[in-house]
Amino acid sequence: MRKTAFLLAPIAAAVLSACAVGPNYHAPEKEMARSFDNVEATYSTETAPSNFWQTFSDAELEKLVNEALASNHDLRIALTRLYDARALRRDAAFDLAPSINANGGYTKAKASGAVTAAGATRETEFYDAGFDAFWELDFFGGVRRGLEASRADLGAEQASLHDVQVIVTAEVTRTYFELRGQQLQLDVARRNVANQQSTLDLAQVRLDAGSGTEFDTARAQAQLSSSRGSIPPLEAAVARSIHRLSVLVGREPGALRAELTPPQNLPPLPGIVPVGDPAGLLRRRPDIRVAERELAGATARIGVAVADLFPRVTFTGSAGYLSGSSAALGDGDTDFYTLAPGISWGIFDYGHVQARISSAKWRKEGAVLRYEKTVLQALEETEDSLVTHARARDRLVHDEAAVRASNTAAGLARVRYENGASDFLQVLDAERTLLQSEDQLARSRTEAATSLIAVYKALGGGWEGLPYPN
């Protein structure tokens, strides 16, 4: 008997491993272009950096990103979903093995005297201890397809965690650059206020000396007041950016005020930005990986539904001891066992099964379309970010030239006014133009930096090589 069981075991294992109903999953293959459509002199086809924030060599930025990766609440929420998927995967794996439960009990009963023979004991006691077992033999692979689906779900949650890491690192970096840009605009506004105060003082001196006009003084005062009015909104924007960064790193809104209030310059942009190619984008983008794993899970669940078309073979058994006293449990004559193989087949439930199979197939088709849509959206987002950043750099060049010219014009207008060669209106107009040019340059520098972060985010940078929880 033992020899027969020994021979049957590998045969049963081979049958179980070879038979799994439903389609086998194959990752979708999509032919991609050799390069992005909007790659120009600004970009190269070298692999894009993963930890892109480190390329800016900004110690404060690196500190913020590292703190966000450790404490950001969106990341911690994504991590709980990952742990949940891992637990469900382990639970599905246990379905391949027998389910065994230990049990024990005590029963005391008293029979009715009307049905008990004269002289017989009406009260009885029973003690039992043992275990029950249940095992469904996975002949047709329904359980294994379920485990395959659970593994795909786990892969999707892993990719979702990576996706949140991309979003968080990009959000921290973008907000940090916005903060530095707002501080730059605020510095420009304050310097212009100081300069316009000097212009007003000059106008007042000329008015007091009889060589100026009250009109010039009033115009200078109006321009100064207008420039001063631009400062409070910028101060509010700086405060909001600090609040946002504080929350992104998992702290209260005002926690980073002392640390981030001192202004710093925006880091210089790299001369050439490596962006890789579209095929690399498919490998790097976590949202594409999420869609691919969801497709794998949907494919596996077709097999789970198809398995219901076939019989289920089960073994139920129990073994233990049963005695009228606790002291006798374990004696040779108190042992017992039961073994009950069974088979069930929902052959008369065929309509319901076919409906579930059809539903699983349509869900798989929907997953295919979602995958294709995700790929197209990723390509669109990347192409948009590439052209936006390239044009932002072009505008930056023009705005830098505009500031240089405006600065020269403002200086000349002031000298000409002091020498009586032009009226005060030209001074005010030149200073107003300089203020607008400097403010626009600050905005352009911020836009060029933040649009570069959009490029890195679109390329899927921000998760490869990051600490990953086991």
pLDDT digits (tens, 9 = 90+) for 162-179: 999 999 999 999 999 999
Q: What is the pLDDT of residue 16?
A: 47
Dihedral angle, C-alpha 395, 399, 400, 406, nearest 10 °: 160
Q: What is the pLDDT of residue 4?
A: 42
- Side-chain-side CA neighbours of residue 3 (13 Å): 0
Please check the confidence at residue 469 and state whether its pLDDT lies above 70.
Answer: no
Spatial strand order in the sheet of 335-344: 99-110, 123-137, 312-323, 335-344
Asked if 460 and 285 touch (Cβ cutoff 8 Å), the reply is: yes
pLDDT band at 10 (very low <50, low <70, confident <90, very high): very low
Phi, psi of 316 (to 5 degrees): -120, 135
The whole-angstrom separation of Cα 56 and Cα 204 is 47
Q: Could you read off the pLDDT of 200-257 as tens digits, one per residue?
A: 888 888 788 887 788 888 888 998 898 899 899 999 999 999 999 999 999 999 999 9
419-425 long-range contacts (CB < 8 A, ≥24 apart) are 423/216, 424/203, 424/212, 424/213, 424/216, 424/219, 424/220, 425/216, 425/219
Asked if 79 and 71 touch (Cβ cutoff 8 Å), the reply is: no
pLDDT band at 462 (very low <50, low <70, confident <90, very high): low
The whole-angstrom separation of Cα 277 and Cα 46 is 8
Which of 17-21, 28-32, 101-105, 327-331 is predicted least confidently?
A: 17-21
Q: Could you read off the pLDDT of 31-54 as tens digits, one per residue?
A: 888 888 877 888 988 888 888 999
Mean local confidence (pLDDT), 399-409? 93
Q: How many C-beta atoms surround the C-beta of residue 249 within 10 A?
A: 22
- All domains of the chain in start order, with CATH: 18-107+138-310+356-458 (1.20.1600.10)
- Token code pair at residue 123: 């009260």
- pTM for this model (two decimals): 0.83
The whole-angstrom separation of Cα 87 and Cα 94 is 11
3-state secondary structure of 337: strand
* Pairing state between β 123-137 and 273-274: unpaired
In whole angstroms, what separates CA 407 from the centre of its chain? 45
In whole angstroms, what separates CA 94 from the centre of its chain? 30
